[in-house]
Chain A
């Protein structure tokens, strides 16, 4: 993790098992349940994380993502179900026998020890000889670019440097899996982008299976190969970031990952075809495989296009509408409009260019949506 980080490698759609390091391990979680007293926090989690993957747990606070991470490290109440690293079951192992490296959100550096002592701690606990410890500690500190800070106390370091020490302290013991609990949340906003790139680059370099907990979808999207969206103690969906954004499995995932227009309605049979019919006159053909019944139509603000001839193009290919601008928010790279269509307010994102004026409130507009980009969701 040096200061001159190279551009991050694009992770679009990659499950990337080929990037696995020599000792990368697969992590398997089966039917994991966990409760704090009467309060069930994990309600049956099944998950497979491939060797060498950079995997994110994404969810709102209280979703169980941190609890799941801590259960993998062996902290918190005893869960039921199974956790395996490779072939070995670790469910009942105490934390100190798991060799699962965890970097804490607060970094949890020991204030009474120097940076060097902090990093050497795990090796000393493993009973390694002094002569072997020194070169490893030096290498770990070099890896995170802090070799010259070895004699400092943690309190004499900046937040970003403290995090690197925490990372070096964990990596030096060569854990089988690396767990990062909200690693960017205690950093200044301007540092976060840099650090997340460095983290990703380091993970690629080491090839270690890594799990990363966050509530920030941008962090998850930009760093992870795949991610699991959690809510209410259950995994809602697992997949590559692009996949989850474009094809969310349910309403929660759809709305948690970015802004979305959601139209209530139902899927009807129309001869041999299927048709979505919703509030505000939203009526358009859908795939013949869609089952009939109540459903939501989902489309992102940026696939709605304003202007042009409402009658233009194949009416089966586009759904067209006319409405009135009720709100216009200039966000720099785009303008977010609220457009009222038959009593429903749609979000519409239009890219901003210098010679394109922002439409005033009250302006009458027409618009169209490519119907095959609309997603039908149940529930």
Chain B
């Protein structure tokens, strides 16, 4: 399994293998993309001319500003949604706070490009809302017009990142810190602005940076909304239409990676040394405030409006998947099961492919992640931190960039026996998904390992079990809950990945669900089946997410029971 030999040799061997995988499938492809961006296309000499070309082309300049604008505005809109939800549910005694928090995470189980078309149907120029507005009030609002549409879809999809991080920060603020401000005359919005929000800033910044990064890198949503004057779509279009040698795709890749790294660095820089979690001895604890009658009404109103907006893509997708014809009308004309029948009769290969790709990717992810976590935290081999950094760094690599890198590096590499270049063999999709989702698995497995006391391992070693048998019989079983959670998270997010997949799919028979939905959604007639496929994808991801929560909870319960047992036995 993980350690083939005794002592340090097994560790070195495993570490070497993991490092090789990361070098070949992460460092070299990304490095190649960056290298090519600085290369003279004809001579191969070092040059900045590609970047000059980029900024001298008005379409690229516009794309650059658009990407920045959309990412920044998405953060703003996502904040408007997430901040009230987080504040009311964490700091106040509020009925259904747990339910609201759960509902608030629902958007994450729907890939944004799936919701995009549904949003068109409801918020678009001829969508339900605008039809109603036009009929009763004689005006319309361009919610989905151009960049607005991308911003709205991305904000609704990604606000949970802010919600989750901000809620965690808010929940850790000691009640007495708020009370002392009230005692000195502060209340209402001023109290929030001067005391509560600044203290929750680290969580907010972490979430906001993630939203910025995700939106800036995203390819699927702009493509589906037919907004092509942004960076990621431009990179994709250049590579897919002009070819793998066009330098602009590489220049854009470098810019995407640079901004990803920049926003991660910014979030680290801003939050560093500001861990204000302030549960102090003799503090007020986590007690929540009561809301007055008017405050309660107002809070509910705000929250219901937000939830309605947040659930729009889901409602729209359901209507679309069951509707016969839905065009220039508030609701579909009639309802049918035909789309689902069509999906089950013709689109099953998409689902099978997805299960295989995402399943394999997640399996390799947890094996790699367990190995990395163990090497980093339990062995002393030199350079072990590098594995951790590399495994986490994949977060900053946009799918487009990884896709371009693979095409460039592996399209000359013929796979023996298959007689195909590696870049167009289906396995490369699995590898791309594995690398992209490794950070999630790594986080889960590291957390799980840190909860396993070293003493338990030492006891096994002391009783004569070797390294390999200790890991096999003690460590991995104790980490099972965390490993399972890592598997499911990787699986669920890999199942709906589009950015890298869309670049690497070489034959329709090899395509996964995300690609299938994308293809269906290209035509008006395909929207119904596309939506039905989308609903299936959402169910798939939803069930997986639910299972992941159950695994985490169960392992927590087992742990709690163990602790009680230990206390009861006086251990």
Contact = CB atoms under 8 A, between A and B. Distances in A.
A182 B177 CA distance: 16
Interface stretch (B273-281, B436-444, B545-553, B560-568): B273-281
Interface centre among B179, B184, B185, B190 (most CB of A within 10 A): B184
Interface in A151-176: 166, 169-170, 173
B186 interface: yes
Contact of A100 (B183, B194, B199): B183
Given A104-B179, A110-B199, A170 B184 contact: yes
Given A106-B282, A111-B278, A112-B276, A125 B179 contact: no
Interface string A68-110: 0000011101000000000000000011110111101111111
Given A101-B183, A102-B180, A185-B282, 9 more contacts: A96-B185, A104-B180, A110-B195, A112-B201, A112-B274, A121-B184, A121-B194, A122-B185, A125-B190
A130 interface: no
Interface string B197-223: 011010000000000000000000000
Contact of A186 (B194, B274, B281): B281
Contact of B182 (A96, A112, A169, A185): A96
Contacts of A77: 290
Contacts of B190: 125
A186 to B, nearest CB: 6
Contacts of B257: none
Contacts of A169: 180, 184
Nearest to A94: B187
A272 to B, nearest CB: 56
Contact of A95 (B182, B198, B199): B182
A4 interface: no
Contacts of B181: 110, 121, 125
Interface of A: 73-75, 77, 94-97, 99-102, 104-112, 121-122, 125-126, 166, 169-170, 173, 181-182, 185-186
Contacts of B274: 112
Interface centre among A110, A121, A182 (most CB of B within 10 A): A110
B185 A104 contact: no
Contact of B176 (A94, A95, A104, A170): A104
A112 B176 contact: no
Interface in B384-440: none
B199 A112 contact: yes
Interface string B267-299: 000000010101011111000001000000000
A186 B280 CA distance: 10
Interface residues of B, number: 27
B174 interface: yes
Contact of A125 (B185, B276, B284): B185
Nearest to A104: B176
Nearest to B197: A112
B293 to A, nearest CB: 13
A73 B183 CA distance: 7
30 contacts: A75-B182, A94-B182, A94-B187, A96-B185, A96-B186, A97-B185, A99-B185, A101-B183, A102-B180, A102-B183, A105-B176, A106-B174, A106-B284, A107-B280, A108-B174, A108-B176, A108-B179, A108-B280, A108-B284, A109-B180, A110-B199, A112-B198, A121-B184, A125-B184, A125-B190, A166-B180, A169-B184, A173-B184, A182-B282, A185-B282
Contacts of A111: 199, 276, 278
Interface in B447-472: none
A102 B179 CA distance: 9
Contacts of A181: 282
Nearest to A105: B282
Contacts of A170: 183-184
Interface in B314-334: none
A367 B280 CA distance: 51
Interface in B490-539: none
Contacts of A166: 180
Contacts of B283: 104-106, 108
B275 to A, nearest CB: 9
Contacts of B195: 110
Contacts of A112: 198-199, 201, 274, 276
Nearest to B275: A111
A106 B276 contact: no
Contacts of B284: 104, 106, 108
A203 to B, nearest CB: 18
A96 B187 contact: yes
B308 to A, nearest CB: 32
Contacts of B180: 102, 104, 108-110, 166, 169
B437 to A, nearest CB: 36
